[in-house]
Structure 1
Amino acid sequence: MPEGEPDDDDQPRSGDGHQPQSGDGHQPQSGDGDQPRSDDVVELRVHGVSGADPTVILDRAPVRQVAGDDSGGFHRPDRSGTDPDGVTLEAYRWGDLPSGTVGRTVSMVFLLPFMLSNVAVWMRPTGHPRAAWVTMLCRLLALNLTVLYVVSVAGVALDLLAWRCLGATRCREPFDTMTELHGRHVGQRLAALALLPIAAIAFLRLLGTRRSRPVGNAPWAMEPLVRRLRAIHVAAALAVLDLILLVARRAAGATVGTTLLLTLSVVVLLTCVGLLAAPGLIDRAATERLAERTARTTGVVAGGLSVVTLIVVARDERDWPSSATLPGYGELAGGALLGQMTLLVLLSALVLWHRGWSGGRATLRRGLGAAVIAAFAVGLAGGLSAGLVYQTGELLGGYRGDGGPPLPYRWTLLAFFLHAVAAVLLSGVLTLMSRRRRRRAATAITRLDFPVVPAEASGRFRLTMTTIARARFTEWLGPLAATYAVLAVIGLVTSLLGRAGRDPEELTRQLFGLPAGAVEMGLTGSTYLLAAVLLTLLSGGVFAYRTAWFRRHVGILWDLGTFWPRAAHPFAPPSYADRAVPELANRITQLTERHRGVLLCGHSHGSVLLALAVLRLPPRVRERVALLTYGSPLDRLYARLFPAYLNEEVLREVGERVEWRWLNLWRDTDPVGGWIFAAHRPGDPPPDPADPAGQVDRRLRDPRDLLPGPGERSAPPLRGHHPGETDPEFRAAVRELTARLCGAG
C-alpha cells in the first residue's frame, strides 16, 4: 500500500473541509436536477493518460460539468444522463492536471532530469534491506543533479564570461566588452556574474515551491518532506557556488577569511549529504523535527555564507593568478561528474547484485528500474550540462587560444554520444533477438483464437499475429533494462579519465590509432544530438499542450512521470495524484450517499488512479462500489516497475476492499495493458474456484473475427489499447457488475 495511506476510519474530505463545488458554485447534483434515486447505479469513467474530451469519454454530447474545475472535473451528459443499461453516466477528466499552460509545460521540459531522478526512488525494491540503500543513493543522485546544474551555469557565468571573455581570452564581439563590467577588477566581475547562478537557483526554488492544489489528505503526505528536500538542495547549490569562487580566490594564496569560508562551505555541503545519507533521518516521524530544523538552519547558513563570500571576493584587491581558465573550476566540475557516475554505478551494482539477471519480470520487480531511470536522468543531465558549457563557449569564442573547454565536459559529451549509440544498437539487437520468440508466441495465441483461417482472411491473420508480437515486446523490458544498466560503467570510466587529465584525442590516438578528428566528430555529433533532443523536448512541450494527437502519443511519458510525488528531488514537477486520488475518493463518497452504488470504470492509467482511490474509501462506501478496469497496466507495468507500492499484495487488497466486485478486461494486442492475476487464454488451466482473484481477469479476443460479419463491409477492427466503452464485452461487464452491486445493496 502507498505510504501515507489513511486508516479505514478516516473520512475523505475536500481541502477546506467542505464538499467540492460545481462549476456554477452550487453543490453537485446526482442527476439532471431531480431528487437522487435509490435504485440506480452511477458508472464513473476515468480516462487514461493523454486526456480525452468528456464528450468522447461519455460518448454523449453535449455534456455539463457538475464538480471540479477546468483542470480536473466531473462531467455528465447534458440531457439524458442514463445509458441503455440503466446506469447514470459520469466522467472524471484529469488530463490537464499534469500540464496546464504552455509556459508551465515548456518550463517542465527543463525539469525532465529532475523528474526522472524522482521517479527512480519510487522504483525501489520491497521487502529487502537493499530498499533503504536504493532510496539513499537515489536521493544523493538527485542532489548531485542540482549541484551539476549550478556548476554548469557557473561555468558559463564565471569561467566563460567573467574570467575569459572579460579577461584572459577576449571573446567575440559584443561579448568581449560588457557594460559596467569591462575593465573592472576580477573579483568584482566574478561577484557580479555570480548573480546569474544564484538567479538560476532562485528559478528552481520558485518552480519547486509551486504545487498542485491538494484535496484533503493527499495519498502521500509528502509536502513536509518536500520542504526539507528543498532547503537541502538550495543549501548545497549555494555551497557549491561558494566553493567555486573561494577555490579560485585561494589560487593566489590563502587567507584566514577565505580558509574559514571555504571550511564552512564544505561543512554545509557535507551536512546536506549527511541529511540524505542517514537512513530514514528526513522520513521518520520521530526525527522529523530534527531534520526540519537542521535543513532550515543549513539553508539559512548557506545563504549567509554566499553573501559574505560575494563581498569578500568583490573586495579582495590582490592579484589573481594568470591562467586561461578559472582556477579550480575544471577540478570541481570533474568531481561533480565523477561523483554522479560513481553513485550511478553503485546503484546499478546494488540492484543487480542479488540474482538480478533471473528474467525480465523478476529483474524489474527487484528494483532494477530505479537504476535504469536514474541512468537516463544522469545521462540527460550530464549531456545537457556539458552541452551548455561547450556550445556557449563556442558561441562566445571563449575557447580560442590555450583555454579549451574543461576536459570533464569533453569526456561527458563523448560518453553521451557513446551511450546514445550503444542504446540504439542494444535496442536493435534485442528486438531482433526476441523477434522469433515473440512471433512464435503470437502465432500460438492467434491459432488458438482462430483455429480455422479462410484463405481470404490470411492477411488479417498475419496482421493480428504481428500486432500481438509487437505488443509482447513489453515482456522484454527486463533484459533490456538489465543490459542498459551495465552501460553506466561507460560514464564512470570517462569521468575517471577526465578527472585524471587525459585528453580524449590523445588517448584514442594512442589506444586505437584513430585520427585526431575522430573524437572531434564525436563531440560535434554529441552537441548536435543534444540540440536535437532539447528541440524535441521543447516542441513536445508545446505540441503536447496544443495538439491532442501529439499529447496522446508523446505526453504519455510526462503524465506517468508527474504521477509520483516528490520524494527524491524537490524541483521535480508537482504530482497531480495529490489532487486526483483524494478528489476521486471524495466524489465516490458523495455518489454513494445519493445512489445505490457506483461502478468505477478506469481505462489505462485511470485504473491506477481508481485503485488508489479504492484504498482510501471507508468501509461504508466500499460496500457500494464495484471496479471495472480495462487496458490496465496495474500488473504489467506498475507492479514490475514500482514493486514497493503496487505489488500483488496491494492489488489483492484492492480486490478485498470491493469484496471482489472487480472485472479486468484485457487484449493480447494491447502493448500497455494486460491481465492482473491470470491470463485465461484458451487452453490455460481453469482458475482455482477458491481464489476470488482468479475470477477478475477477462480476456477479449482481438479482433472479434477475421472476416466481416453479415451485413458489414469490413472486418472488426483491432482494438489494441483502445478503451472501447461501447464494445459489447464492455457493456456486458457493466451489466454484470451492476447486478452484483444491486444484489449487495
Structure 2
Amino acid sequence: MGSDGSPRYRDGPGWHDDVVELRVHGVSGAGPERVLDRADVRQVAGDRSGGFHRPSPQPDGTDPDGVTLEAYRWGDLPSGTMARTLSLVFLLPFMLSNLAVLMRPTGRRSGPGVTVVCRLIALDLTLLYVLSTAGVALDLLAWRCLGAARCPAARDALAGLDGWSTGQRLALLALLPVAAVGFLRLLGARRRRPVGNPLWAVDPLVARLRATHVAAALAVLDLVLLAARSSGGRTTATTLLLVLTGAVLLACVALLGVPGLLDGAATARAAGRTAAAVRVVAYGLSVATFATVALDPRGWPSSIGLPGLERILGSVSLVQMSLLVALGGLVVWDHGRRVPRGAPRHGLGAAVIAAIAVGLAGAFSAALVYWAGKLLGGAAGQPLAYNWTILAFFLHVVAAVVLCGAMTLLSRGRRWRAAAAITARDFPTAPPGAAEYLPRVTRMIARARFTEWLGRLAVAYAALAVIGLTTSVLGQFRLQPDRLGRQLLGLPPGFVGAGLAVGSFLVAALLLALLLGGLFAYRTSWFRRYVGVLWDLGTFWPRAAHPFAPASYADRAVPELADRITQLAQRHAGVVLCGHSHGSALLALAVLRLPPGVRQRVALLTYGSPLDRLYARLFPAYLSEEVLRQVGERVGWRWLNLWRDTDPVGGWIFAAHRPGDPPPDTADPAGRVDRRLRDPRNLLARPGEHQPPPLRGHQPGESDPEFRAAVRELAGRLRDQGRT
C-alpha cells in the first residue's frame, strides 16, 4: 500500500482486472452456499467462526456478470459453542441494559444524563443479582433451612454444617454469591483475542466498569451480612465495617454517576485507578466482614427471615424503579424539546429496553428465590419485595399484551389504507386473474408497515415503568399484595395470590423458553433464523454500561472485513460490497475504517437494510443520518440501496422514491441512493409457470434481475473510474 492507502501493485504480479462482489449476510446465520447460491464453496480466508468463501471448483469463482463472487460468513461469531449460546439466556438482562445506553438520544443536555442513569440501572441489576443469590444461600439455606430444620433436602446436603454456629454458616455460604459473581465474569469473558484493533476503544472502559461492579457486588453482600449481625446490636467492628461498606457503595455510584468520569479522555486513567483501588478495598472489607460474622460469639435474634435482607432488597428495587422513571422522563423531555411534531421518534428505545431489562432481572431474581424455596421443601415464605416484583411482572405482561392488541387494532385501518394506495399505484390495472393475489399483497404491505407504529408502542410500554415504581413504594410500607387488593379494590380473597402464582409460572416458562430457544438456535438453522436475531443484534454493540454483558463480536467482524476489503482492492479493479439486512451495518462501519486510497475502489450495495428505518431511530448517537451521509461520501456516493414495501425490517435510507413522490434533488447525491423494488414484480404467472412471482419481503434476492443490474452498474462505475 502507498502512503495514501492506495494499491501499489496494480498491473503487477497477482493483479486481476476484475471486480469482486463481496456479500455479507444478515442475522439469519445463512451458510456460504446459500449466500453465494452455489452448491460447492471453498474457504479462502478466516477461520471456522468467521470466514471468507468463494464458489468452487471454478478457480476464479467468476459469475456471468464478470465479477468474482465472495462471501463473508460471520454467523458463528455471536454464538459459537452451545455453552456460550445458552449463557446468553442468563446474561439477557445485562445485555439489554447495555443496549439501553447505546440507544441514548443525541441531545447534548440529556445525552450525558441518559448515559449516567443507564449505567446506574446496570449497576442496580448487578446488585439485584447478588441479592437474589444471597437470598438463596444466606436466607433460605443458612438461616431458614439449617436454622429452623424445615428443609430435609437441604439438611441432608449440608449435614456437615449442623454443628456450626449461625455466623459461621452465614460466612461460609456467603461464598456462593461471591462464586456467582465470578460465574458472571466467566460468562461475559471474551472467547478469543479480536483480529486487528477494536471497533470502539471500550476495552479499558469495560475494565473500569468491571472493577466498579465487582466492588459494589461485594459491598452489598457485606451489607447484608452486617445488617443481619447488627440486628442483635452493633459493635464497634460492625459499625466501622458498615461505614466503610457504605463508602465503597457511594464511591461506585460516584464513578458511574459523574458524567464523563469513566470514559473521558482526561479522567479515564485516574478513574480506572480509583475503580481498581475501590475493588481492592472491597476485597479487604469482605474478608473482614466474613471474619467478623463468623467469629462474633453473640447470639442471633429470632426471625423468620434473615434480618435486614428484605429492607435492603426493597431499597434496591425502589432505587431501580426510580431510575427507570427518571430515564423515561429524560428521554421524553429530549424528544419533546428537540424533535418537531410528526418527526420520527429517535432515542425512545433507551427507556423501553431498560424497562424490559429491569423487568426481566426482577422477575428472574424473584423466580430464583421462589422456586429454590419450593425445591428445598419447607422453606416457606420469601421477602415481601419479591412478591411485589412478581406481581409487577404479571401486570406488565398483561398490560403489554393489551397494548399490542390495541395498537394492532387501532393502526389496522391506517395501515390498510396506505397499503391499498401503494398497490393501486403499483398495479393500476390489475388483471382479472389477480383478484385473489392482490389482497394478499396488500395484507403483506399492511403488516410490514406496523414497524412505523413501534415508536408509539414504545412510548406506551415505557409508561408502564410507573407500575414497577408503584409496587416498589408499596413494598417499602410492608403492605401485603393480597390484603391490599381486598381492602382497596374489593378483590376476593386469594385473587392476588393467584396472580402471584401465575406470575411465577410465567417467569419459569419464560426461562424455559429462552433455554430451549438458545438450544434450538444452536442446533437448528431455521429456528436460529428467528430466535438468533436477539443474540446477533444484542452482542453486536460494545459493552458501554454493563461489564457482564456478552462481549461484542463487531470488534472482530468489522476490522476483519476492512482488512479483507483492503486486500481485495490491492489485487482487483474494485470491490462491490453487498450487505443484506444487518450485514449492511457491518459493511457501513467497515467503510468508515478504510484508508482513503481503498475507498476509491469500493462501491456499496445494501438491500433489506434497517440502517435508517430501525438503527438510525434506535441508535441515533451512532448511526444517524449524518453518519450515513459520511458513509456515502467515503465511497464517492457509489451506493445503491434496494428496498421493498413488503419488507418489515428494511427500508429506504434517504428517500422512498415511490410512484408519485417528488423527483429527487439532483444536487444531493444521497437522493440517488435508494431504489424501490416493486414486490411482487407481476400479479400473474409468466408463460410456462403455474404460480405468480412470490412475495419477497425481507428475503435477500441476490439472484433477482434488479439485484444483478445494480451489481453491474456499480461494477461499471468502478471500472470507469479505474480507466480514468
Q: Which of the numbers 459, 465, 471 marks the counterpart of 2:442?
A: 465
Deviation at 1:260, TM superposition (A): 0.8
Q: Is the 8 A contact 1:205 1:234 kept in 2?
A: no
- Tell me which residue corresponds to 1:485: 462
Percent identity over the alignment? 69
1:42 aligns with 2:23: no
Decide whether the 8 Å contact of 1:94 with 1:580 is kept in 2: yes
1:160 is matched with 140
The residue correspondences of 1:235-246 to structure 2 (distance < 5 A) are 235-246=215-226
User: What is the one-letter code of the residue matched to 1:490?
Assistant: I
1:251 to 227, 231, 237: 231
Shift in Å, 1:340: 0.8
2:272 is aligned, of 270, 277, 292, to: 292
1:219 aligns to 2:199 (yes or no): yes
Report deviation, 1:212.
4.6
Superposition deviation, residue 349 in structure 1:
1.1
8 Å CA contact 1:164–1:398 kept in 2: the answer is no
Query: Compared with structure 1, are the counterparts of its residues 433 and 119 closer, same or farther at alpha carbon in structure 2 (3 Å cutoff)?
Result: same
Partner of 2:547: 570
Paired with 1:35 and 1:101, the residues of 2 have a C-alpha distance of 41
Instruction: Answer whether contact 2:53 2:70 (CA < 8 A) is retained.
Output: yes
Aligned to 1:641: 618
Q: Does 1:59 align with 2:37?
A: yes
Separation in structure 1 between the aligned mates of residue 511 and residue 125 of structure 2, nearest angstrom: 17
2:68 to 88, 101, 120: 88
Letter in 1 for 2:240: L
Q: Distance in 2 between matches of 1:129 and 1:356?
A: 13
**Aligned pair in 2 of structure 1 residues 9, 295: CA closer, same or farther (>3 Å)?**
farther
* Secondary structure, counterpart of 2:69 in structure 1: strand
Given the alignment of the two structures, is residue 364 of structure 1 paired with residue 345 of structure 2, yes or no?
A: yes
Query: Using a 3 Å threshold, how does the CA distance of structure 1 residues 11 and 621 change in structure 2: closer, same or farther?
Result: closer
Kindly indicate whether the alpha-carbon contact (under 8 Å) linking 2:366 and 2:386 is maintained by their aligned counterparts in 1. yes
Partner of 2:580: 603
Post-superposition CA distance 1:419-471 (Å, at most 9, x none): 00000000000000000000000000011000112222111100000000000
Q: Which residue number corresponds to residue 278 of structure 1? A: 258
Tell whether 2:641 aligns with 1:664: yes
Distance 1:690 1:359, change over 3 A: closer
Match of 2:90 among 101, 110, 113: 110
Partner secondary structure for residue 348 of structure 2:
helix
Q: Distance in 1 between matches of 2:561 and 2:154?
A: 57
The 5 Å alignment of 1:607-618 reads 607-618=584-595
User: Which residue of structure 2 lines up, in the alignment, with residue 713 of structure 1?
Assistant: 690
**Deviation for aligned residue 1:289:** 1.4
Residue 110 of structure 2: aligned partner: 130
Q: Partners in 2 of 1:270 and 1:361 — Cα distance?
A: 42
Q: Deviations over 1:560-597 (max 9, x none)?
A: 11100000000000000000000000000000000010
Task: Tell me the SS of whatever aligns to 1:40.
Answer: strand
Partner amino acid, structure 2, of 1:673: G
Aligned partners of 1:368 and 1:54: how far apart in 2?
Answer: 36
- 1:496 has 2:477 as partner: no
Could you tell me how far 1:169 is from its partner in structure 2? 5.7
Post-superposition offset of 1:113 = 0.1
Residue 301 of structure 2 corresponds to residue 321 of structure 1: yes
Q: Secondary structure of 2:675's match? A: strand
**Could you tell which deviates more after superposition, 258-267 or 240-249?**
258-267
Aligned-residue offset at 1:184? 1.6
| Aligned equivalent of 2:401, options 421, 424, 433 | 424
> Secondary structure in 2 aligned to 1:516?
coil
Q: Give yes or no for the alignment of 1:523 onto 2:523.
A: no
Q: Deviations over 1:470-499 (max 9, x none)?
A: 000000010000011110000000000001
**1:20 alignment partner in structure 2:** none
Match of 1:589 in 2: 566
Residues 49, 76 of structure 2: 8 Å contact kept: yes
Equivalent in the alignment of 1:17: none
Q: Distance in 1 between matches of 2:117 and 2:80?
A: 32
Deviation at 1:399, TM superposition (A): 4.3
Deviations along 1:344-384, whole A, 9 cap, x unmatched?
0100111112454979984631x211000000000000011
Unpaired runs of at least 5, structure 1: 1-7, 13-28
Alignment of 1:693-704 (within 5 A): 693-704=670-681
Any idea what SS the aligned residue of 1:552 has?
A: helix
Instruction: Give the Å deviation of 1:397.
Output: 3.6
Distance in 1, matches of 2:364 and 2:300, equals: 31
Query: How big is the shift at 1:10?
Result: 9.6
Q: CA deviation at 1:394?
A: 2.6
Among 324, 347, 350, the alignment partner of 2:327 is: 347
Question: What runs of 5+ residues in structure 2 fail to find an aligned partner?
Answer: none
Q: Report the CA distance between 1:173 and its aligned residue.
A: 3.6
State the SS of the aligned residue for 2:642.
Answer: strand
TM (norm. structure 1) is 0.94
3-state secondary structure, aligned to 1:209: coil
SS at match of 1:353: helix
Cα distance in 2 between the residues matched to 1:38 and 1:307: 66
Match of 1:652 in 2: 629
The question of whether the paired residues in 2 share the 8 Å contact of 1:9 and 1:618 is answered with no
For 2:621, give the aligned amino acid: A
Give yes or no for the alignment of 1:310 onto 2:290. Answer: yes
Q: For 2:272, give the aligned amino acid.
A: E
Q: 1:355 to 1:596 in 2, by over 3 A?
A: closer
Equivalent of 1:409 in 386, 403, 406: 386
Secondary structure of the corresponding residue to residue 327 of structure 1: coil
Aligned to 1:18: none
Q: Is the 8 A contact 1:48 1:605 kept in 2?
A: yes
Q: In the TM superposition, what is the alpha-carbon distance from 1:171 to its structure 2 partner? A: 2.1
Q: CA deviation at 1:38?
A: 3.7
Alignment of 1:717-736 (within 5 A): 717-736=694-713
Instruction: From 630, 638, 643, give the equivalent of 2:607.
Output: 630
Q: Which residue of 2 aligns with 1:231?
A: 211
Structure 2 CA distance for partners of 1:46 and 1:712, relative to 1, 3 Å: same
Q: Are 2:530 and 1:549 equivalent residues in the alignment?
A: no
8 Å CA contact 1:212, 1:579 repeated in 2: no
Cα distance, 1:546–1:622 mapped onto 2, change above 3 Å: same
Measure the CA separation in 2 of the matches of 1:354 and 1:595: 48
Please give the alpha-carbon distance, in whole angstroms, between the structure 1 residues aligned to 2:610 and 2:302: 60
| Distance in 2 separating the partners of 1:362 and 1:70 | 44
Change (3 A) 1:286 1:361: farther
Q: Tell me the amino acid that sits aligned with residue 572 of structure 1.
A: A
Distance in 2, matches of 1:269 and 1:363, equals 39
Q: Distance in 2 between matches of 1:361 and 1:136?
A: 29
Distance in 2 of aligned mates of 1:362 and 1:501: 45
Structure 1 residue 218: Cα displacement:
1.5
Q: How much has 1:11 moved relative to structure 2?
A: 7.2
Structure 1 residue 387 corresponds to structure 2 residue 367 = yes
Q: Which amino acid aligns with 1:506?
A: R
Whole-Å Cα distance in 1 between the matches of residues 435 and 582 of structure 2? Answer: 34
* Aligned partners of 1:638 and 1:646 also within 8 Å: yes
Give the drift of 1:216: 1.8
Instruction: Check whether the contact 2:643–2:651 (CA below 8 A) recurs between aligned residues.
Output: yes
Following the alignment from structure 2 to structure 1, what is the Cα–Cα distance between the partners of residues 661 and 294? 77
Query: Which portions of structure 1, spanning 4 or more consecutive aligned residues, are displaced by more than 6 angstroms?
Result: 8-12, 357-361
Residues in 2 aligned to 1:378 and 1:292: alpha-carbon distance in whole angstroms: 27
In structure 1, the partner of 2:451 is 474
Match of 1:373 in 2: 353
AA aligned opposite 2:74: W
1:101–1:258 Cα change, 3 Å: same
Q: Is the 8 A contact 1:44 1:89 kept in 2?
A: yes
Which secondary structure does the structure 1 equivalent of 2:261 belong to?
A: coil
What is residue 182 of structure 2 aligned with on the other side? 202
SS at match of 1:600: strand
